Structure 1
Amino acid sequence: MHATADNNPFAVVTGLEYMQGIQAARILAKRHHLPVIAVSTNKNHPYNLTNCCHQVVCTDNNLIEDLIVIGRQLAEKAVLFPGTDADVLLISQNRRQLSQWFHMCLPPAEVVEMLMDKLQFYAFAREAGFRVPDTWFIHNRQELDSAARKVVFPCVLKPHYRTAKWNELSPFKAFRIVTAEQLTATYEQYKAATECFILQNWIEGPDANLYSCNAYFDANTKPLASFVARKIRQWPPVMGQSSLGEECRDDVVLAETLRLFQTVGFHGLAYLEIKRDQRTGEYFIVEPNIGRPTGRSAIAEAGGVELLYTMYCDALGRPLPSNRVQHYGGVKWINLRQDLRSAFYYWRKGELTFNQWRKSVRGPKTFAIFSWTDPYPFLGDLWRAARLFFNKEERGKRNPDRTIGEEK
């Protein structure tokens, strides 16, 4: 398999079946005109229908073996973009084996593991003086009962790592807990899905108090590109993923992001989520994501910061793109299907009017999945969502108002 006529090596993107995967493939192929090979672990996923890729490879959970097969077919080394946390960890662990065929932008393996393991990260953050919520690690019922006497309700309960079993049982990455009884019920319901829970005090504030910073650091931990945004709405509400976000300026968020990743000697794509406490104005780190594109990588590109292309050029030793500085033009990012669900939820609760919704989506924007020039992933996603909606069990699992412990 040869590079394209303009002599650009391939970009290989894993996790095509996830939003960040298809966004990365589109950005690299359509915005920067690079040849892209994408890897998907779900052969029936609608995102595989994208027209932006030179090739889509479906794998049966043998990612490293399939990457080696791809690499052997290439005329020159490709730039590898892991698409999920599991891919980042697996690729980091096998980097020596893969380095013959791929350029990988990752820090040392121990840094990858520390930043990805919530237990290690929160311990590091507290010791290094970064602001994180009060945190307890729950391995058993005795530790839960002890922490329940200290935590302030409402609080947050989440797994230290989202396992396949967790994703099978729940679409939610965390739960907002309002009573001790709900805390116990949630623990009992999901204890088989994780070895350790993380219990944290809740940071007061609306969705708009959740900020993020995407960045890319070179091998010397120099930040070559960065972009700050914030959530407007999310789905599921309160504890979900962004469904509508906007570019913003917040120098505290930017400075804290750079300080964290430079402290650990980071190399590669980095993302930090931070929440500002509505009562005190203090900023708390929620969590990092590392080594891969995120759902908010697309808003950076739409805002003129060529985040992924910067990594591609840096990996190949090419001149860096000039568009690496944020200009705060107010661009927005929307996951159309999820944001309609979120808006309807808040409208039904009397917290969002039609005029407020219309104003919130007005202005320059980019879409998470919808694309006029690549329509089949979005249409397939709609059809998949409709089938899930008519499945009573799946609909119940995704109900944001469902009380833990109820019959499904």
Structure 2
Amino acid sequence: MPQPDRAVVLVAGAESPTGLGVARALRDQGLTIVGLTNDVTASPCRSGLWHEIVDEGDGTPEGWITAVRGVAARHGRTVLIPVRDDVVELVAAHADEVAAVVEFVLPPADVVTTLLDKTAFHGWAVEHGFPVPHTEIVADQAALDAALARIPYPAVIKPFERTAEWQAASPRHKAYRLESAADVAKIGFRLFDTAPRFVLQQWIPGTDADVWFCLVYRDRSGREIASQVGRKLVQWPVGTGCTALATTATDEELHTLTSDLLDAAGHIGVGSLEVKRSTADGKLYITEPTVGRPNLQSNVATAAGINLTLLQYRDALGLDLPVMPAPRPAVWIHETSLPRAIAVSAARRVLDVRAVAAGLRAASGRMSAFGAPADRTPLTAELRRLAGRTVGVLQRKVRRPSASAPAPASAPVQG
């Protein structure tokens, strides 16, 4: 007989470490956890925590909703937890249809659009007085040329959305740092062959250790139930915004900024704000919000005892929300990225050795991207995947000894 406080959890984005992190955050709750994915072969899908892995369909909203309906038909009452922006947008756009099948907590569609759409968010943030760097959105070469003439340098250029074409042309880098307008021509491929729109943004001076974030859960009324501030210590590739090592921290200025922004936007559910503290003026500048979903390093809060995912699950079912304990110091580690990130950061003299050592030494809670004491298969699978890719690269180089890879002309940077 169905229990009023129980439901199957459907994690939409099980192919990512973020999706696996959701399953890990709920592993001790005795729940059935199903993964919905666009890549059933991905390393996180190899975890023993999944009761079932389901292909999300043909890539259309209709196909995705059909897959969700199938899960609910097989398992009964279901709570949906999205972990990708495209899924958040899809659910927001089809909220009534999805709500007829599964339970979820997500901001309204207009809030999702305001915070996820980079054009809308920048204008909205400026209008509301929130600190954002100079940003321009361009959709053709003429607009890009004009923006390159206006933007202060250094600057960052990145796709508005990371398309499949962008991922193929730039598999490692989310963005590129430009020292001048001429650097665009040195990137190595034609930008508008890979994405229809690009974000050109003023570079905020600082290192990876100057990137901070605030993770929150806000109930359906918009009241903050719990939060956790954190700090990125190392990223991979260095400066590109993918966390290799993060630690818990305290920063009331950032917490207040996050609360003020999410209050103004009308955000509910899980979310976060990422900022960078400029080494030029010491001020916080918003790099991006995360809307309606966890992000890569969200389980640093879980490791600290602040289980935002559990709050999301219980809120979706209309259950009482527990008071979270005082957080303990914790770290989150991306096992395959961290060694490379440490080595390159040290070689470039941008590694904050004291911060890294202090974060690791103080941590009494730890969680990782792929591995866990009783669930090592995803890490093993990811290491094998990376080893296979490395072998493939070496074989191609041996077959083409005279070919030389194009050197990156612009530095990849935080996305």
TM-score by length of 2: 0.89
CA distance in 2, matches of 1:31, 1:400: 49
Aligned counterparts, 1:225-236, within 5 A? 225-236=226-237
Aligned match of 2:37:
40
Contact 1:275 1:285 in 2 (8 A): yes
**Quick one: structure 1 residues 165 and 3, their matched pair in 2 at CA, closer, same or farther if it must change by over 3 Å?**
farther
Aligned match of 1:361:
360
CA distance in 1, matches of 2:120, 2:188: 21
CA distance in 2, matches of 1:359, 1:202: 28
Contact 1:226 1:326 in 2 (8 A): no
Aligned match of 1:221:
222
Q: Which residue identity is paired with 2:40? A: K
SS of 2:126 mapped into structure 1: helix
Aligned match of 1:31:
28
SS of 1:38 mapped into structure 2: strand
Q: Among residues 7, 10, 32, which one is paired with 1:9 in the alignment? A: 7
**Quick one: structure 1 residues 144 and 16, their matched pair in 2 at CA, closer, same or farther if it must change by over 3 Å?**
same
**Quick one: structure 1 residues 352 and 118, their matched pair in 2 at CA, closer, same or farther if it must change by over 3 Å?**
closer
**Quick one: structure 1 residues 131 and 353, their matched pair in 2 at CA, closer, same or farther if it must change by over 3 Å?**
closer
Contact 1:24 1:308 in 2 (8 A): yes
Deviation, structure 1 residue 56: 1.6
Contact 1:218 1:268 in 2 (8 A): yes
Q: Which residue identity is paired with 2:333? A: I
Deviation, structure 1 residue 331: 1.0
Deviation, structure 1 residue 361: 3.4
Contact 2:8 2:34 in 1 (8 A): yes
Q: Which residue identity is paired with 1:175? A: Y
Deviation, structure 1 residue 270: 0.8
Aligned match of 2:157:
157
CA distance in 2, matches of 1:124, 1:353: 34
Aligned match of 1:332:
331
Identity percentage over the alignment?
Answer: 28
Aligned match of 1:189:
190
CA distance in 2, matches of 1:344, 1:400: 23
Q: Among residues 50, 53, 75, which one is paired with 2:47 in the alignment? A: 50
Aligned match of 2:278:
277
Aligned match of 2:400:
none
Which stretch of the first structure deviates more once superposed, 165-174 or 19-28?
165-174
Deviation, structure 1 residue 187: 9.1
Q: Which residue identity is paired with 1:314? A: D
Contact 1:234 1:342 in 2 (8 A): yes
Aligned match of 2:299:
298
Contact 1:236 1:400 in 2 (8 A): no
CA distance in 2, matches of 1:22, 1:200: 32
Deviation, structure 1 residue 109: 0.9
Aligned match of 1:243:
244
Residue-by-residue CA offset, 1:245-265 (whole Å, 9 max, x unaligned)? 110001111111111111111
Aligned match of 1:139:
139
Deviation, structure 1 residue 352: 5.1
Contact 1:19 1:369 in 2 (8 A): yes
**Quick one: structure 1 residues 259 and 35, their matched pair in 2 at CA, closer, same or farther if it must change by over 3 Å?**
same
CA distance in 1, matches of 2:183, 2:117: 26
Residue 20, structure 1, aligned to residue 26, structure 2: no
Residue-by-residue CA offset, 1:14-70 (whole Å, 9 max, x unaligned)? 111111001101211x23332211112112222221111222212333321100111
Residue-by-residue CA offset, 1:222-258 (whole Å, 9 max, x unaligned)? 1111111010000010123110011000111111111
Residue 346, structure 1, aligned to residue 345, structure 2: yes
Aligned match of 2:402:
none
Aligned match of 1:89:
89
SS of 1:272 mapped into structure 2: strand
CA distance in 2, matches of 1:136, 1:56: 40
Residue 59, structure 1, aligned to residue 60, structure 2: no
Deviation, structure 1 residue 354: 8.7
CA distance in 2, matches of 1:383, 1:166: 25
Deviation, structure 1 residue 3: 5.7
CA distance in 2, matches of 1:22, 1:372: 14
SS of 2:80 mapped into structure 1: strand
Deviation, structure 1 residue 181: 1.5
Aligned match of 1:380:
381
Give structure 1 stretches of 5+ with no counterpart.
Answer: none
Deviation, structure 1 residue 318: 1.2
**Quick one: structure 1 residues 98 and 156, their matched pair in 2 at CA, closer, same or farther if it must change by over 3 Å?**
same
**Quick one: structure 1 residues 188 and 146, their matched pair in 2 at CA, closer, same or farther if it must change by over 3 Å?**
farther
CA distance in 2, matches of 1:246, 1:73: 39
**C-alpha RMSD of matched pairs (Å):** 2.6
Q: Which residue identity is paired with 1:281? A: G
CA distance in 1, matches of 2:317, 2:5: 12
Deviation, structure 1 residue 404: 5.2
